Amino acid sequence: MTSQSSTPVIVNGAAGKMGREVIKAVANASDMTLFGAIERQPEYVGQDAGELCGCGELEVPVINDLQGMLVMAAQEKQPAVMVDFTHPDSVYENVRSAIAYGVRPVVGTTGLR
């Protein structure tokens, strides 16, 4: 799914303002590939992640299954990164899950205590 020199990136909280900006940044980066886009709000599920953020079709559908995405990322040869812009109530569990699957978490969620 990704090239050997490209870091696979999962964006969790893809439909939020910062999630969309991360998708744009990854789409424009030569050393990263958008591996997955996760969003819990049902009105965004099924949309193309690139269309969601206004940067054109990326052929990456928005889904609402973080665990399933982490399983797929764990099977890749290149280690993946999960950028989390979700909610303080869920971010800790998201990070624990990512680590359990060997996916490196990057947290941008605000309001943590």
CB neighbourhood size of 64 (10 A): 15
| Topology of the domain covering 7-107 | Rossmann fold (3.40.50)
Closest CA to 33 of 13, 54, 6: 6
- Distant-in-sequence, close-in-space partners of 88: CB < 8 Å, separation ≥ 6: 109, 110, 111, 112, 113
pTM above 0.85, yes or no: yes
Domain spans of the chain?
A: 7-107
Q: What would the pLDDT profile of 2-43 be if each residue is shown by its tens digit?
A: 556 799 999 999 999 999 999 999 999 999 999 999 999 999
Report whether 75 contacts 87 (CB < 8 A): no
Report whether 80 contacts 9 (CB < 8 A): yes
Residues paired with residue 105 on neighbouring β-strands, in sequence order: 82
